[in-house]
Each structure stands twice: as C-alpha cells, then as structure tokens.
Amino acid sequence: MAARRRTESEPVRRRQLLAAARKVFREKGYNGATISDIVREAGVAQGTFYLYYSSKNAVAVSLLDGLMERMGAAVESAMKSDTSFDKKLGSMIGASFQVARQNADLYRLAFIGADETHPEMHSESPEHASILNTVTNLFSIAIDAGEMEAMDPEIAARLVIGLLQHAIIEAFVSGEGESEGSEQLEQGVRVLLVNALVRRG
C-alpha cells in the first residue's frame, strides 16, 4: 500500500519540482540557477530532486518538452475548425502566439544562451515532429483542394514553422514582449503567410 501511495504521488512531486524550477529559472536565468535553489523553492530535500531529475539540465529539458507539447496541442486544435484554409492558417498563427505569450519565460530559457539545454527545440524531437506533421497534413489537404499554391507541403511546413519560431523569438526573447509589438509581429506573419500560401482565383 505504501508503494502505491508513493507511485500516486510521483506526478504531484514532479509538477512541484517543475513549478519550482520554472520560478527559479525565470528569476535567476539558467546559468544563475542551482539545484539548491530549486529544492529550496520546492520545499524538498536535495535527494528528492534526484529521484526525479538527474541534473539541472534534465529539469530544464522537461520544462521545454512541456512547452512544445502545449504548442503542439494548440496548433492541432486550431486545425480542427471546419473553416477555410486561410482561416485555419490564421488560427494556427494566433494559437502559436498565444502559447508564446503565456510561456515567454520558457522561450527565454530555451534561446538565451541555453541552446545546449535543449537542442531538440531546433530539430526533430517528438514534440517538434508532431507539429511538423500537423502543419504538413494541413498543407497537403489545402493543396489537393486547390486552396493553397502548389508546392512541397513538408518544405512549406518547415519554412512556416521556422518563420513562426523566429517571430516568436523576436517578440518574446529578443524584444520585451510588449503587447503592441507582439501583436504587430503576429499580424505581419499572418499577412505574409496568407498572401504567400493562399491560392487566389
């Protein structure tokens, strides 16, 4: 019975450590944060940390995996609406910027001097691959339906995801994330992609 209680508490403890690590990273940055800071914030013993994460890097990777999962879920949800291709494209852009606004601290964790923390943010992690697959499928369907200019849908998806990521970094990492500035970038991406991808006539 004791073992079962411990198993049931593991997700709770993991969430507790992740929340503490996120707060410490936000306040001190990745390089300034220590495991001692994280366990102090979580109110647990240092040994407890190592039951769940092998290092500071491991807990940062877990936080960033969660960010990519949230981004993937938002993009997938935006695709489910029964609307035209250009509206789905707009919904995808809006959903991506919304997740970024809510998680600007995690984008800063990933991209300010911490590429080594989570290189999968830039490659083919399962979370990134899931987003790529969702966008590629959207483009394939739109091309077949004559709603999108004919092109390789996967290449188009990679370019669009790259543009979105760059715009998000510009808004929430390089910039200060001001509402007006991020909204202008979001609108600029929307206009650019709709004009480039949506087939006219």
Over the stretch 16-33, which tens digit does the pLDDT of each residue have? 999 999 999 999 999 999
CA distances from 159 to 58, 72, 135, 167 (A): 29, 16, 11, 12
Average pLDDT over residues 166-194: 86
For the chain, how long is the longest CA-to-CA vector? 67
Looking at the structure, do residues 114 and 167 belong to the same domain, yes or no?
Answer: yes
Looking at the structure, do residues 141 and 182 belong to the same domain, yes or no?
Answer: yes
138 contacts 88 by C-beta, under 8 angstroms: yes
Looking at the structure, do residues 36 and 70 belong to the same domain, yes or no?
Answer: no
Average pLDDT over residues 139-167: 95
Looking at the structure, do residues 77 and 173 belong to the same domain, yes or no?
Answer: yes
Q: Which one of 13, 33, 53 terminates a domain?
A: 53
pLDDT digits (tens, 9 = 90+) for 91-148: 999 999 999 999 999 988 888 645 454 554 445 577 788 899 999 999 999 999 999 9
Give the closest residue to 38 by CA, choosing from 53, 58, 54, 24: 24
Give the closest residue to 75 by CA, choosing from 142, 135, 141: 135
Looking at the structure, do residues 66 and 122 belong to the same domain, yes or no?
Answer: yes
Looking at the structure, do residues 44 and 76 belong to the same domain, yes or no?
Answer: no
Q: Which one of 53, 69, 84 terminates a domain?
A: 53
Residue numbers of the domain that contains 79 = 61-197
Q: Domain of 176: which CATH number?
A: 1.10.357.10
Looking at the structure, do residues 72 and 146 belong to the same domain, yes or no?
Answer: yes
Looking at the structure, do residues 106 and 22 belong to the same domain, yes or no?
Answer: no
Q: Domain of 30: which CATH number?
A: 1.10.10.60
Residue 8 banded pLDDT, cuts 50, 70, 90: very low
Q: How many structural domains compose the chain?
A: 2
Query: Strand pairing partners for 198?
Result: 148
Mean pLDDT (the chain, rounded): 87
Looking at the structure, do residues 7 and 46 belong to the same domain, yes or no?
Answer: yes
pLDDT at position 10 over 90: no
Looking at the structure, do residues 97 and 45 belong to the same domain, yes or no?
Answer: no
pLDDT at position 46 over 50: yes
5/103: higher pLDDT: 103
